[in-house]
Amino acid sequence: MTGENLCPPGTLVAGWWKADGSGFCDLGGAPQPRYYLDCNRVCDDGCGCGASGICATECTDANCRCLEGCGSQSVDCTRFRYGQCNQNVECVGEIACRVVTCVPPWEWDPTCTTTSATDNQTAFHDRPCLHDGFTDVAPDAFYTEAVGWMAAEGITTGLTNDLFGPREPAPRSHFATFLWRYAGRPDAPADSGFVDVSPDAWYAQPVSWMVGHGLTTGIGDNRFGPDMILPRSQAITFLWRLAGSPTARVAHNFSDVSSSNYFDVAVGWAAENGVTTGVSPTLFAPTQPLTRAQAATFLHRFHMLFHDTLALPGATP
């Protein structure tokens, strides 16, 4: 696998797996996969390795933490339980820590073909396979150019220095911040007036800027919903308002967007101008959660179309 090595110094990724249907990673009430990385101690030079692939306790500088001893082949301790290929490590020490995340910290390597115990793909974690920039953004993905542009312009810094999280859903606070940074980080009061946006929140100024320029009215009850996952319809509506709420000159062909929907004109405008092509020629998927990759793509397309002609609200000339 390629991706950021999340293991601490003196350890290496010795096992990984995916737990399907995890409530820990719920998305809109639907369970999503939870990902695990086991970080095991590196064995001292010259250590022998047992059949389990784990060196003896005396060969490492830490106490054994495996539940059934250092030679255990339990879930916590077996080196190649998950079929990692290309790692070329003959032996590892006991588990030192476990990283749990809702974001896959890797990209699949298509050259790995050996099946693992719990998945039909195996992966590697060799540093030479990593590329510059966000390591979870493939060089040929549909969103690669957009994410690179956002990073270069300071619109995003990623989830970490090495991970963008393209498949992660985009909360309303994230998208508000993307738009505000795109506009040049204009000054705005810290207090947006929403009861669920603290004036000292990192997204307080972006939300306040949106309110001040009519880009959002919140979700009702004087709330903005900063942690609420943004649907595709709301993202397009924000961009449409940023463009000045223009009228769509031609009707869209999306059967899942009715003329009675508040976002109908916004979607028509976005389709007419190429900001969106939908999830198919006839479907826009308005209620589908917006991913960070889609957020980057929408904003990049918006920029390419309008950056020479549009005066952004609050932006410094």
Question: Quick one: tokens of 315?
Answer: 């932006």
Residue with tokens 């990673």: 25
| Domain limits for position 215 | 144-306
**What amino acid occupies position 273?**
N
Ramachandran angles phi, psi of 311, nearest 5°: -90, 115
* Confidence tier at 315 by pLDDT (50, 70, 90): low
Indicate if 167 and 31 belong to the same structural domain.
no
pLDDT > 90: percent of the chain:
45
Answer whether residue 136 is part of any domain: no
Indicate if 124 and 151 belong to the same structural domain.
no
Indicate if 81 and 190 belong to the same structural domain.
no
**Which of 70, 101, 129 is the endpoint of a domain?**
129
Q: What integer pLDDT is reported at residue 41 of this predicted model?
A: 76
Chain segment 134-191, per-residue pLDDT in tens = 767 777 789 999 999 999 999 999 987 777 888 889 999 999 999 999 999 999 999 9
Indicate if 118 and 148 belong to the same structural domain.
no
CA distance linking residue 291 with residue 108, whole number of Å: 19
Answer whether residue 316 is part of any domain: no
CA distance linking residue 25 with residue 298, whole number of Å: 25
123-132, 213-222, 239-248, 276-285: the lowest-pLDDT one:
123-132
Chain segment 30-47, per-residue pLDDT in tens = 787 777 777 777 777 667
72-86, 207-221, 249-263: the lowest-pLDDT one:
72-86
3-state secondary structure of 66: coil
State the average pLDDT for the chain.
77
Answer whether residue 315 is part of any domain: no
Using alpha carbons only, how large is the chain's radius of gyration in Å?
Answer: 24
Domain total for the chain? Answer: 2
Question: Quick one: tokens of 261?
Answer: 């929907």
**Which of 81, 98, 129 is the endpoint of a domain?**
129
Answer whether residue 207 is part of any domain: yes
Question: Quick one: tokens of 242?
Answer: 């940023």
- The answer, yes or no, to whether residue 125 has pLDDT greater than 60, is no
Exposure of 211 in the CB half-sphere (CA atoms within 13 A)? 21
Answer whether residue 244 is part of any domain: yes
Answer whether residue 184 is part of any domain: yes
Indicate if 20 and 123 belong to the same structural domain.
yes
